[in-house]
Structure 1
């Protein structure tokens, strides 16, 4: 398992991607505009986002403030995912 504390600057994007590993993300500060398996939502402090293995996910920090989150990822399939095709 890998654990990380991450800060995305206001407006910063995590590109849509997938990996065979499942992952959990807990929002500590700010707002994350997230997408998981085609579902989009806004996640604020105290929200847990679950990304199942093999599902496309990504997001970006809100425009007004950084977002800080704690994430845990299964590393049995490696650390890196595959970039998803861009949306039209």
Structure 2
């Protein structure tokens, strides 16, 4: 299954093989799509926001607080504030992430 996203999204390259688009946002909550090419990464990082992620397409190696698991379509994961986490796209894929509160850094033009 492939998810159809609005055509007018503004995609921003985050890292080679990884781009994001804000789907909707309010100060208390944000929904973001991350499109990955095979081998694309979201390097290990942390932030003060709670994060819930849904694997819409593809397969990812997800690392949270030093533990790595492989997740496929329909899987989800939660990242507590300040935990170090990142992903590697084993295949081309799409993550849908929510952040509480909103990631204001994602609203600034790159």
- Quickly name the TM-score band, shorter chain normalised: 0.7 to 0.9
- 1:5 corresponds in structure 2 to 33
- 1:41 corresponds in structure 2 to 69
TM-score (norm 2): 0.65
TM-score (norm 1): 0.81
- Tell me by how many angstroms 1:78 deviates: 4.2
- 2:51 corresponds in structure 1 to 23
Long gaps (5+) in structure 2: 1-28
Asked which structure has the greater CA Rg, the reply is 2
- 1:67 corresponds in structure 2 to 93
The alignment's C-alpha RMSD in Å is: 1.6
Q: Which runs of 4+ in 1 moved over 3 A?
A: 76-80
